[in-house]
Amino acid sequence: MLPQPFRPRPQVLTPANLVPLLQLAESTARLLNLAGQDRSAMTITLHSLESLARERGTDKRAALLQSVADCFLLGEGQHAAVELSLFDEIMRMVMAEVGPGPRAELAARLALARHPPPVVLLRLANDEILVAEPILANSPALAEDELERLARELSQEHLAAIAGRARLGERVTDVLVVRGDDRVAIRVAGNDGARFSPTGFVKLADRAEVNTILRDRLAARADLPETIVERLIPMIGGPMIARIAEGLDAAPDSLLPAVPGRPLDMLLDQVARGTASLDEIVTELADSDAAVAVTELIARRTRLTPEPVVRAMFAPSEEPVTVMCRAAGFNLGAFSAVLRMRRRRRRGVARDPAQALAAFRELPVATAERVVRFLRARDLH
């Protein structure tokens, strides 16, 4: 059963417990003095804070909550443990008397705090999504064990917020890929700051079999294990290979766009007539992200079947595509364009681009052609 959003509790801030609030305000003022800041940086005076605390109207309570947040944030990171505990208690009491709007404003203000009141932080994280989203998506104070627990208990909207965090560990992503709906899975798969366990990658690959958007997000990751790459190649490469085999250079989906109005045969005819160079054509295709056409062109130039070329284009290592581009007669500029296209899809690889270009330049053409002849011979058997 999912936890219910935060519900106001009967405990309220009354004149009887004003003293801790005023002590915190005075403590914050002292911190400003010690830091050499003007006390006017405080947006509220002790007198007006006391006046707000004595008012019971909803608007006054909302203003009081933000004023307490002002006091906290001005000294954030410098409050003693007892002061942090008091902020926790007072904020919780005032939160109990305001609606989701003021709580959402408080959450947005505390979302980037490194040392927020801990109980308030978790109350906000468990609140309705309007309130919880900035905390779940951004708070650096949420430890991995807390995020894992929240991911196991909260709604899909809350999980989507967690999935977009700048950094996610394997324990959290393991939960997201199992509990999350398609939106959550797609978002976390496309998150470069998310780390996945081997089991997490397998679960994503399982789901990618029936979800093309998730498949594309997963295929673009730079940290895929080889076993997952091998699973994805038939899913992604199958339609691509079929189109190449049929002599098509256009792709209907977003993963494999083509150059509008420029069929590959027309481009190659320009090369044959001397009105365009091979490397100009390759660069145009690659810079237009026409992966099908580039792959077909390499296959034609090397007389390979499409399958090994597709594998080279999606392989974690850049060595296979380096060999094929060299054997296809591309120059350094054309290979660089292919490399850029490939890296846009893989979103980063281990080797520095300069190293990849140096490896291409240093690879003898005869060696590349010998490797391609071996691949052709293997295809025949």
pLDDT digits (tens, 9 = 90+) for 197-255: 999 999 999 999 999 889 878 877 778 887 887 787 777 655 545 544 444 333 333 33
Task: Give pLDDT tens digits for 71-130.
Answer: 788 777 777 787 788 888 888 888 888 899 999 999 999 999 999 999 999 999 999 999
Give the three-class secondary structure for 131: helix
Would you kindly state where each structural domain of the chain is located, as residue ranges?
Answer: 1-138, 143-221, 251-379
What is the Cα 248 distance to its own chain's centre? 34
Q: Which of 216-225, 279-288, 335-344 bottoms out in mean pLDDT, i.e. has the lowest?
A: 216-225
Q: Residue 286 burial (CB < 10 Å; 0-12/13-18/19+)?
A: buried
Identity (one letter) of the amino acid at 17?
A: N
Alpha-carbon span 221 to 316, nearest angstrom: 10
Crossing angle between the packed helical segments 58-74 and 18-34, to the nearest 10 degrees:
40
Q: Which of 89, 26, 91 is nearest to 64 (CA)?
A: 91
pTM of the predicted protein model: 0.62
Predicted confidence at residue 134, as pLDDT, reads 97
Alpha-carbon span 200 to 215, nearest angstrom: 14
Place of tokens 């309007």: 130
Q: Which of 196, 150, 145, 190 is nearest to 174 (CA)?
A: 196
In 10 A of CB 193, how many CB atoms? 10
Q: Which residues pair with 168 in a beta bridge?
A: 194
Asked if pLDDT for residue 335 goes beyond 60, the answer is yes
Identity (one letter) of the amino acid at 378?
A: R
Higher pLDDT, 229 or 325: 325
- Alpha carbon distances (Å) from 92 to 27, 70, 123: 19, 15, 8
Most confident among 23-27, 113-117, 172-176, 234-238 (mean pLDDT) = 172-176
Q: Which of 7-16, 75-84, 356-365 bottoms out in mean pLDDT, i.e. has the lowest?
A: 7-16
Predicted confidence at residue 191, as pLDDT, reads 94
Higher pLDDT, 150 or 48: 150
Q: Which of 53-67, 170-184, 326-340 bottoms out in mean pLDDT, i.e. has the lowest?
A: 53-67
- Alpha carbon distances (Å) from 7 to 95, 103, 258: 9, 11, 54
Alpha-carbon span 244 to 305, nearest angstrom: 9
